[in-house]
């Protein structure tokens, strides 16, 4: 049976109990996705690589705290989220929200464009949106996470995830119309 | 500084092979959880006693009110405060090391904690455990002496 056939959780169990070299499979599976995610948050490729490397190291050292009944994906994304937030706090680099911005619009952007088009717009527009809104947007559209997974990663209720994504879409429409 | 993402796997795996990165043993996390649990239980005990004490002091205006309050204070399990502080601090410190694991529901923990304290404190007070503590065991001697010194008739809770 090839390693590709094993789930993340099964591989983690093998890394913990018998073959730590299998951790390379986990890194290969997640490095590109995590790098994109970290880069979308920190907007600096070198720092994003550092974050992902540190996150994989932390994940390995704390692998015994991971509950294999839960999703490894949410766990590793959470680690990258924490590392990124720590770094952002350190450098105080954050896109401010325009003071006169109004969320009152009831327009549904997905109705206008569809999810695929929205995803393309998100990719182009993400840098213009504050982290509070860009992060759930990035997880939902670019990382293809469900509301439940976004809620698990960011540790916010699902309702808050929905509100932030909705607001992010409105922000995107107002701030990125020219893109 | 330009870095190559392709080297990421090699970098990390080399560090693992060379023993520069080591997996923390399961025991580390078990101890963290136990310490937090002990800290939490001790906090409930401390808070419950304090709650009972407050209720008791509010209605301790009769004869010996001050004396009974002093007795409860002297029999208060102060060691639990040390357990509570040490356990919680160490437990939280341990957990913060792997805090990124799962979504916790802090409001549920806080509500559960407050409810446990109020229910346990009220039960202790309603069942008269505070009073029983004064009348049995080592407290009985204090009660007896106090009643004799003040010429108060013994029996029926040492009432005049």
Q: Select, from the ranges A31-35, A67-71, B70-74, the one with the highest average predicted confidence (pLDDT).
A: A31-35
For residue A108, pLDDT beyond 60: no
Question: Do the domain assignments include residue A102?
Answer: no
B103: CB partners within 8 A, 6+ apart: A151, A152, A155
Same domain, A17 and A84: yes
The CATH number of the domain holding residue A117 is 1.10.10.10
- Return the pLDDT at A31: 93
What average pLDDT does the segment B75-95 reach?
Answer: 67
Same domain, A87 and A113: no
Question: What are the distances in angstroms from CA B148 to CA A54, B60, B77, B145?
Answer: 72, 20, 28, 5
- State whether residue A35 sits within 8 Å of chain B by CB: yes
Question: Do the domain assignments include residue A104?
Answer: no
Enumerate the residues of chain B whose CB falls inside 8 A of the CB of residue A75. 100-102
- Return the pLDDT at B156: 44
- State whether residue A19 sits within 8 Å of chain B by CB: no
Q: Where in the sequence is the domain holding A48, given as residue range(s)?
A: 3-91
Q: Select, from the ranges A118-132, B112-126, B145-159, the one with the highest average predicted confidence (pLDDT).
A: A118-132
Q: What span, in angstroms and rounded, lies between the C-alpha atoms of A136 and A141?
A: 8
- Return the pLDDT at B150: 58
Same domain, A84 and A138: no
| Share above pLDDT 90 across residues of chain A, in percent, rounded to a whole number | 41
Longest dimension (CA), chain B: 90
Enumerate the residues of chain B whose CB falls inside 8 A of the CB of residue A160. none
For residue A80, pLDDT beyond 90: yes
Same domain, A7 and A62: yes
Question: Do the domain assignments include residue A19?
Answer: yes
Q: Chain-wide mean pLDDT for chain A?
A: 83
Question: Do the domain assignments include residue A82?
Answer: yes
Same domain, A128 and A63: no
Question: Do the domain assignments include residue A97?
Answer: no
Interface of B with A in 113-132 (CB under 8 A): none
Question: What are the distances in angstroms from CA A90 to CA A64, A87, A94, B31?
Answer: 29, 5, 11, 31
Could you say which of A91, A122, A139 is where a domain stops?
Answer: A91
- Return the pLDDT at A81: 92
Same domain, A169 and A128: yes
**pTM for this model (two decimals):** 0.65
Instruction: Report the gap between the CA of B110 and the closest CA in chain A (Å).
Output: 17
The CATH number of the domain holding residue A23 is 1.10.1740.10
Q: What span, in angstroms and rounded, lies between the C-alpha atoms of A141 and A116?
A: 9
B46-76 pLDDT tens trace? 777 777 767 666 665 566 666 766 776 776 6
- Return the pLDDT at A73: 93
- Return the pLDDT at B132: 66
- Return the pLDDT at A99: 52
* Comparison of pLDDT for A123 and A129, the residue scoring more: A129
A37-66 pLDDT tens trace? 999 888 888 899 999 999 999 999 999 988
Could you say which of A63, A91, A119 is where a domain stops?
Answer: A91
Same domain, A58 and A126: no
Same domain, A84 and A113: no
Same domain, A85 and A163: no
Question: Do the domain assignments include residue A96?
Answer: no
B151 Rama sector, left if φ>0, alpha if ψ -120 to 50, beta otherwise: left
B2-43 pLDDT tens trace? 456 668 889 999 999 999 999 998 888 888 778 777 777 777
| A27-47: burial string, b at 16+ Cβ within 10 Å, e else | bebbbebbbbbbbbbbbeeeb
Same domain, A113 and A150: yes
A142-166 pLDDT tens trace? 898 999 999 989 988 899 999 999 9
- Return the pLDDT at B100: 46
Could you say which of A58, A91, A124 is where a domain stops?
Answer: A91
Question: Do the domain assignments include residue A133?
Answer: yes
Q: Which of A61, A75, A82 sits opposite B24 (nearest CB)?
A: A61
- Report how far Cα A173 is from the mean position of its chain's Cα atoms: 21
Token code pair at residue A5: 């056939």
Same domain, A131 and A87: no
Say how many domains are in chain A. 2
Q: What span, in angstroms and rounded, lies between the C-alpha atoms of A73 and A139?
A: 12
Is there a contact between A64 and B25 if contact means CB atoms under 8 Å apart? Answer: yes
Question: What are the distances in angstroms from CA B110 to CA A173, B96, B104, B117?
Answer: 40, 18, 11, 11
Q: What span, in angstroms and rounded, lies between the C-alpha atoms of B36 and B31?
A: 9
* Contact (Cβ atoms closer than 8 angstroms) between residue A138 and residue A146: no
For residue A169, pLDDT beyond 60: yes
- Return the pLDDT at A101: 52
Question: Do the domain assignments include residue A27?
Answer: yes
Same domain, A23 and A87: yes
């Amino acid at each position: 049976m090839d390693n590709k056939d094993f789930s993340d959780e099964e591989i983690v169990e093998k890394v913990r109990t018998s073959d730590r070299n299998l951790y390379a499979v986990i890194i290969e599976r997640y490095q590109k996705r995590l790098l994109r995610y970290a880069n979308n948050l920190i907007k600096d490729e070198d720092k994003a690589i550092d974050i992902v490397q540190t996150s994989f190291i932390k994940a390995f050292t704390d692998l015994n705290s991971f509950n294999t009944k839960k999703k490894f994906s949410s766990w590793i994304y959470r680690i990258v989220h924490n590392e990124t937030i720590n770094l952002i706090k350190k450098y105080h680099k954050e896109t401010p929200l325009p003071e006169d911005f109004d969320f009152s619009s009831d327009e549904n952007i997905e109705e206008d464009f569809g999810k695929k088009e929205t995803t393309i717009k998100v990719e182009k527009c993400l840098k213009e949106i504050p982290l509070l809104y860009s992060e759930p947007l990035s997880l939902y559209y670019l990382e293809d996470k469900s509301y439940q997974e976004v809620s698990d990663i960011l540790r916010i209720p699902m309702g808050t995830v929905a509100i932030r994504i909705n607001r992010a879409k409105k922000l995107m429409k107002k701030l990125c119309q020219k893109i | 500084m330009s870095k190559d993402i392709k080297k990421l796997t090699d970098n990390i795996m080399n560090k693992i092979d060379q023993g520069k990165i080591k997996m923390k043993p399961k025991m580390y996390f078990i101890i963290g959880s136990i310490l937090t649990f002990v800290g939490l239980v001790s906090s409930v005990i401390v808070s419950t006693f304090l709650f009972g004490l407050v209720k008791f002091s509010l209605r301790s205006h009769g004869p010996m009110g001050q004396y009974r309050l002093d007795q409860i204070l002297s029999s208060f399990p102060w060691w639990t405060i040390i357990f509570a502080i040490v356990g919680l601090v160490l437990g939280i410190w341990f957990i913060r090391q792997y805090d990124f694991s799962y979504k916790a529901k802090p409001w549920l923990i806080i509500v559960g904690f407050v409810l446990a304290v109020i229910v346990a404190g009220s039960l202790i007070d309603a069942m008269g455990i505070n009073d029983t503590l004064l009348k049995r065991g080592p407290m009985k001697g204090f009660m007896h002496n106090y009643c004799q010194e003040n010429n108060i008739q013994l029996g029926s809770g040492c009432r005049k």
